[in-house]
Amino acid sequence: MIGHHWMRGDLDLDRKPAKPVTRAMLRRVGRYFRPYWKQTAVVVLTLAVTAGLGVVPPFLAKAVIDQAIARGEGGLLNLLVIAMVVVPIAGGLIGVGTTYLNASIGQRVMFDLRNELYASLRRQGMRFFTHTKAGELVSRVNNDVSGIETVVTGTIAGLVQNTFVVSWTLGMMFSLDWKLTALSLAILPLFVYPTRRVGRIRRDLARRRQQRVARMSSLVEETLGVSGALLVKTFGRDRYEIDRFSDENRQLMGIQIRESMVGRWFFMIIQVFWSAAPALVWFYGGHRAISDAASEASNAFTVGSVVAFTALQTRMFMPVNQLLTVHVDVQAALALFERIFEYLDLVPDVRERPGAIPLARAEGRVAFDRVSFAYREDSPVLHGVSFEVPPGRMTALVGPSGGGKSTIAALVSRLYDPDSGAVTLDRRDLRDLTLESVASAVGVVSQDPFLFHASIRDNLLYARPGASDADVVAAARAAQIHEFVAGLPDGYETLVGERGYRLSGGEKQRVAIARAILKDPRVLVLDEATSALDSRAERLIQRALAELLRGRTAIVIAHRLSTVLAAGEILVVDGGRIVERGPHEKLLARGELYSRLYREQFSAAGRLADAPS
């Protein structure tokens, strides 16, 4: 079966430490924002305005105390109070707009990235899919890309906003009293190191949590998917899987508890500092206000200034803390982009060369010319395989398991490229043809065909989306499945169930054959099912296959006597080489591997029943 042997690609749990931020990397990230630069500019502007509006209320309070109340101006007081209501309303409204713009930029960037990522993964060759865990791909397409949205609306917007808030606030504090401001700032460096450290530990835990979550989702996917569920059930491993899940789950819980506790003490101290800081201002400012009032100096530090100053200082708490750790967030965000770029940059091993030729209607001559191939560098699987199948003829591949039959089949539909030699269609190297023309010329029916969880009609139409109802029914008839489908309560609209589990093996195969008939390829690669069906089902399949093979070039991994008897040539594949070739009678007469296989596989296994009597 094609793609049956796969290596387990483990989730990369120990990711490399964050790479240093490069200019090229930033530029590349920036490219995703370029289409939305107008919205981005507006967001920056509104963030500046809201940050500016934030410093207004402390000054209104100052004016209320120092001017309106001190001088007994009721009218001014009314105006100031109205302003105290209007300013936050304005800030709030602008904030709503900013959030909308921000979210829409984030979502658009995410939309673009997700599409690009999926398209890039789609282009990959089979080698990639057999080596990568599906759960990991799902996690990249879903989680990593969603992370980007948080980066845009959280990290980047937060960075800009905090910078504005801190600059505005500091500016205003300086304008009130530069000495006091300098004093407040002098204490900041004490917090820099611990804040950063805590931030880093947090990040680390967050990363570990994400990895755990990814592991858990891949576990869920594997063990709760239909095939996995079947395996677990039939091996009676429910208990084991429950324990395994519980283990992962416990680890996740531990990490999350640590995550919520890390730096809690430290943050408590910072919080106390910030809450207590106004006391210092009141002490210093209060005394100055007293002495200034006595001396009646022109630039007196008034009660209003103390109030305004403490209010400003309190506003700095969150933004300063966030700015102290922002580089950790930025690094994490870039790591996220990096992971996505890694996948975007994957070069498919099978790809269309520039100027590839489209083949309008293939004649169907398939040839292997000294083809050698290895899945992994050190272990060659095919050694100089050569053969030719003339248009419309059938060649059967037989041989012991692991000999290389499926690999030959996979090379015909260009799932892989040979390491040396060439696979040709109508005497043209497959690598010189467009991927599309190869795909439309070569059809594959595997032992265990895949059906999408959709209606039978949709599964059939997958082969030829524009096909008419009459074509669909004709194909189903040819594949001996029409009567069965028509007899179902929902007919062609019947859902086949996850991977087609609601159909019997024989029915599923016939649906797959109907699908191939509808596709109508010139060349057919067929992996005959090994599992024996009851004779009626077997007869239906045989008839369906006869319809499918009629007039097409076929390369069949044969398990039935009827097939080898019908083949123009039989290739006996062993150890990656064609060790014998010819028609049945001749090979049988030689008394070598084929005759042995014949005795073991075709006759002894009771397959003689298939042979026309």
Q: Which of 99, 104, 130, 494 binds ligand ADP (CB under 6 A)?
A: 130
In the complex, the smallest distance separating the C-beta of residue 104 from ligand ADP, rounded to whole angstroms, is: 43
Under rule CB under 6 A, residue 407 binds ligand ADP? yes
Judged by CB, which is closer to ligand ADP: 9, or 568?
Answer: 9
Choose the stretch contacting ligand ADP; rule: CB under 6 A; options: 247-255, 320-328, 405-413, 495-503. Answer: 405-413
C-alpha dist (Å) from residue 36 to 99, 109, 112: 15, 9, 12
Under rule CB under 6 A, residue 298 binds ligand ADP? no
Residue 106, number of CB atoms within 10 A of its CB: 21
Q: What one-character DSSP code corresponds to residue 598?
A: I
Q: What are 252's two structure tokens?
A: 């996740």
Judged by CB, which is closer to ligand ADP: 57, or 576?
Answer: 576
Q: Which of 154, 225, 390, 402 binds ligand ADP (CB under 6 A)?
A: 402
In the complex, the smallest distance separating the C-beta of residue 372 from ligand ADP, rounded to whole angstroms, is: 13
Under rule CB under 6 A, residue 6 binds ligand ADP? yes
Choose the stretch contacting ligand ADP; rule: CB under 6 A; options: 47-55, 285-293, 403-411, 450-458. Answer: 403-411
Judged by CB, which is closer to ligand ADP: 406, or 553?
Answer: 406
Q: What is the DSSP string of 169-221?
A: HHHHHHHH-HHHHHHHHHHTHHHHHHHHHHHHHHHHHHHHHHHHHHHHHHHHH
Q: What are 516's two structure tokens?
A: 């191939």
Q: What is the DSSP string of 430-444?
A: GGGB-HHHHHHHEEE
Which of 440, 394, 442, 426 lies closest to 546 in space, CA to CA? 394
In the complex, the smallest distance separating the C-beta of residue 219 from ligand ADP, rounded to whole angstroms, is: 23
In the complex, the smallest distance separating the C-beta of residue 404 from ligand ADP, rounded to whole angstroms, is: 4
User: Which positions from 194 through 233 interact with ligand ADP, judged by CB under 6 A?
Assistant: none
Q: Which of 135, 147, 403, 443 binds ligand ADP (CB under 6 A)?
A: 403
Judged by CB, which is closer to ligand ADP: 120, or 130?
Answer: 130
d(CA 484, CA 503): 11
Judged by CB, which is closer to ligand ADP: 331, or 407?
Answer: 407
| Contacts with ligand ADP, 352-391, as mask; x by CB under 6 A | -----------------------xx----x----------
Which of 425, 443, 423, 422 lies closest to 358 in space, CA to CA? 425
Residue at token pair 């028609």: 583
Q: Which of 5, 244, 287, 586 binds ligand ADP (CB under 6 A)?
A: 5
d(CA 114, CA 429): 34
d(CA 19, CA 334): 9
Under rule CB under 6 A, residue 419 binds ligand ADP? no
| Contacts with ligand ADP, 499-538, as mask; x by CB under 6 A | ----------------------------------------
In the complex, the smallest distance separating the C-beta of residue 377 from ligand ADP, rounded to whole angstroms, is: 11
Q: Per residue in 258-287, is it b (16+ CB within 10 Å) or e — as a string?
A: ebeebbeeeeeebeeebeebbebbbebbee
- Please report, in angstroms and rounded to a whole number, the separation of the first and last CA atoms in the chain: 29
Q: What is the SS3 assignment for 258-286?
A: HHHHCCHHHHHHHHHHHHHHHHHHHHHHH
Under rule CB under 6 A, residue 396 binds ligand ADP? no
Residues found near ligand ADP in the complex (CB under 6 A)? 5-6, 130, 375-376, 381, 399, 401-407
